[in-house]
Each structure stands twice: as C-alpha cells, then as structure tokens.
C-alpha cells in the first residue's frame, strides 16, 4: 500500500511539474495574454494555498500557505487595477484545468499532500518569476509592465521561501 501511495505522489508531483513547466513555456506576447494568464494563476494560487492552510498539519507549510494567500490576494488586486487601466477584462473564475489540478491535490492527505504542495509551490514560483522577468524585459512602461516590475521582488521572495520550504530549511 505504501508503495502505491509513493508512486501516486510521485506521478502527481510530476503532473504538477509538467503543468508549471507548460505555464513557464507560454510566453505571452501581449499585456492582455499576460494579464489573463496571471489572473488564472493568481486565483489558483489563492485557492491552492487556502486548501493547504486548512489541510496540512505541518506548521511551516501552514504559515507559508497563509502568507501566500495574503500576498497573492494583494497581487491579484494590483493586477486588476493595472488591467483596468489598460482596458483589459480579466477572467473571474478558474478554468477546468486548474479546477482539476486543485481537485487532484485535494485528494491527497498527510505527507503525500505536503510533498505535492511543496513541489507545486516551488515549480509554480519558478515559472512565475521567469514569466515576470520576461514581461519586465519586454515592456516595463505599460500599466501591466509596471505591475510586473513592482511585483517581481515579492515573487522572488516567494520563490526563496518555496525553495527553503521544499529543502526543509525554513
């Protein structure tokens, strides 16, 4: 039974990594594409972290998840303002892929859940930082570009926190 759980968690983590990898490889060429991808990603981050904060028994993961909910709620609000300034309408709900991803995570428990969550947070923050760095290089002068530049430092901090959490040093 333990072997089956280990295999499942490994496959689940690999699936999450592929999702993050695909997200990183999609380099939106317009502010509109960038903003819409971020809106979905930001909503997913908040929902995933709310799930983790309620589900984990690990105090470090709970603390990290609560911080991510607070910070990404703030980021989502700033994105909304920047998008509005450019006349961009953002999605208001999660797409089917993200709902499914949260559902897979919700189906895990204990160490399997914690490990999958830590992997997800590390991979997602790597992909998000890369996406923001690309946007800042592309066009930092639009409201969306300024938002990306203003937010990048916080996301780099999140990445460091996710790396520390995943390595057990936090």
The predicted-structure confidence for 89-146, as pLDDT tens digits, reads as follows 999 999 999 999 999 999 999 999 999 999 999 999 999 999 999 999 988 899 999 9
Instruction: Tell me phi and psi for residue 36, to 5 degrees.
Output: -65, -40
Q: Evaluate if residue 11 carries a pLDDT over 80.
A: no
* Cα diameter, the chain: 55
Overall number of domains in the chain: 1
- Reported as a single tens digit per residue, the pLDDT across 117-126 is 999 999 999 9
- Reported as a single tens digit per residue, the pLDDT across 41-85 is 999 999 999 999 999 999 999 999 999 999 999 999 999 999 999
Q: Evaluate if residue 1 carries a pLDDT over 60.
A: no
Domain harbouring 125, CATH code: 1.20.1260.10
Q: Evaluate if residue 16 carries a pLDDT over 70.
A: no
Q: Residue 86 is part of which domain span?
A: 2-167
Q: Evaluate if residue 165 carries a pLDDT over 60.
A: yes
Spatial CB neighbours of 70, under 8 Å, sequence gap ≥ 6:
none
Q: Evaluate if residue 170 carries a pLDDT over 60.
A: no
- Residue 71 CB neighbour total at 10 angstroms: 19
Give the sign of the dihedral formed by CA 106, CA 157, CA 154, CA 130: negative
Radius of gyration of the chain (CA): 16
């Amino acid at each position: 039974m333990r072997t089956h759980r280990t295999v499942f968690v490994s496959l689940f983590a690999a699936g999450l990594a592929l999702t993050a990898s695909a997200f990183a490889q999609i380099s939106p060429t317009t502010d509109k594409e960038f903003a819409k991808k971020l809106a979905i990603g930001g909503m997913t981050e908040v929902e995933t972290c709310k799930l983790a904060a309620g589900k984990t028994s690990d105090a470090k993961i709970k603390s990290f998840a609560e911080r991510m909910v607070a910070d990404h709620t703030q980021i989502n609000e700033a994105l909304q303002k920047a998008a509005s300034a450019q006349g961009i309408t953002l999605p208001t709900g999660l797409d089917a892929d993200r709902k499914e991803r949260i559902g897979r995570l919700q189906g895990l428990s204990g160490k399997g859940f914690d490990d999958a969550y830590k992997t997800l947070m590390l991979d997602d923050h790597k992909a998000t930082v890369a996406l923001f760095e690309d946007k800042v290089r592309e066009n930092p002068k639009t409201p969306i570009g300024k938002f990306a530049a203003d937010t990048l430092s916080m996301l780099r901090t999140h990445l460091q926190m996710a790396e520390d959490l995943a390595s057990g040093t936090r």
